[in-house]
Every structure is written in C-alpha cells, then in structure tokens.
Amino acid sequence: MSSPSPVLIVPGLGGSGADHWQAHLARALNARWLEQTDWDTPSPVQWEQTLAAALSGSTEPVTLVAHSLGCILSVRWILAHPEEARRRVNGVLLVAPADVDSPSHTPSVVHSFAPIPLHTLPVPSVVVASQTDPYCSFARARQFAGQWGSDLIDLGDAGHINVAAGYGPWPLAQTLCETWHTTRPACVRSDATVHDNCETRTWSAAPHLAGALRPQTPFL
C-alpha cells in the first residue's frame, strides 16, 4: 500500500528502532527514512542540512512524518524556508513534539534546537499530542498547534507516543498519510478529542477513522 503523497520519516533523538511506529509506517508505505549521521548528539545545522538534502532529492512534494525532536527539526526548516517548503512539502504530521525550550522536560543535548519558532506554518499540519508526555506538557503542545496553525489530535494518556508507551503498529499514522488530501484528520473515539486550530471538535466528525486511534498491539 502506498500513500497518495510520498512520505519522509523524520525521527527524533536517538532515532526510531525497528519496533517504533515510524518504522512500521515506513515499511507499510515504502516511505523514505531520514538518516542522521549522529542520532545522540544532534546539531541543528547538520540535522537541517540532512533534511534539506532529502527534500531537494525528492522528485515530488512529500508528507513529513516527524516524532519528538524530529518535529522541531521539521518546523525549524519549514519556517526558515517557507517558499521552498510550499514547493517541496505537502504537509507535516508532528507527533509528540519535544519541548526543547523547557529544561524540565528535555535533556540539555537538544536545547541547541531552542527557541522553538512559533509562527504559522505555510503547509498543512497536524499535531498529535499526549496528556502524559514527559517531554512536553499538553498545554504546551496545544500552544504549538495554535501558533503553527495546526489541527491538534489529543491521544489522552499516551506517554511519548513511542514504543515504551505501546506505539508499535499504529493505524492512525497510516490513515492520516493515506487520507491527507481527501479529508481533515479527526478524533476517532468518544473518549478523545480533536482540536481544529485549537477549537474542539467531536469524534463523530470522522467515523471513517473509527478504530485507528490506538496502537494495534500494545507493548507491555
């Protein structure tokens, strides 16, 4: 199965292992993987150069699917190069953005990515956030979505939306990629909400996504 738009996976600090939902998504969609030379001591300049090279090497616009520090990397590059972003990026899925501005939420090794730019993104975007993310408060994630002009999907108690939180195979990520150009993302369970540019919408707005919110096989 393939996405209507080519997908570029953008991992965060340490990369994403074979069991991570990004790895499952890459295999499912035959997506490209952004490979950094140093996953553990990230340099904003080097990481942005790697992202720029990957985008310039694409023959058509892509959907960026980012996690954690990869979200901040994506936002930094898009806002620094808005015209190029409009040509090269169809949209960006920002899952569990790391609050690199907050020493109480993130390690010092990522603070070189601060400050996080808080301006409207020139491409469609969705922030997927958790109420219990140790690397970013939900209030802060909601602020990001509002400032970036993003839709906000609230997963509730989902940790950092990674393998440790049970997110291996994750249908919602694939569903969003496959329906990017035909429908707006929306919440899919009655115990969760979607914030459309930070205005709450109910899950019934998108019954076609029912069952996609949670991972298929939680890790214990």
pLDDT at site 17: 86
Residue 214 resides in a domain? no
Residue 60 lies in a domain: yes
Q: For the chain, what is the mean pLDDT?
A: 84
Element (DSSP H or E) covering residue 178: helix 171-178
Neighbouring CB atoms inside 10 A of 56's CB total 9
The verdict on residue 129 lying in a domain is yes
On whether the pTM is more than 0.95, the answer is no
172 within some domain: yes
- The verdict on residue 219 lying in a domain is no
Reported as a single tens digit per residue, the pLDDT across 120-178 is 999 999 999 999 999 999 999 999 999 999 999 999 999 999 999 999 999 988 898 88
Q: Interior CA angle at 121 toward 30 and 163, to 5°?
A: 45
Helix axes 21-29, 171-178, angle to 10 degrees: 40
pLDDT tens per residue across span 107-125 = 999 999 999 999 999 999 9
Q: Is residue 1 part of a domain?
A: no
Indicate whether 156 belongs to any domain.
yes
Please give the residue range of the domain that contains residue 91. Answer: 7-209
**What pLDDT digit, counting tens, does each position of 58-89 carry?**
889 999 999 999 999 999 999 999 999 999 99
Q: Is residue 215 part of a domain?
A: no
Question: Could you give the number of structural domains in the chain?
Answer: 1
CATH number at residue 17: 3.40.50.1820
How far apart CA 64 and CA 90 sit, in angstroms, is: 8
Separation CA 111–CA 26 (nearest Å):
28
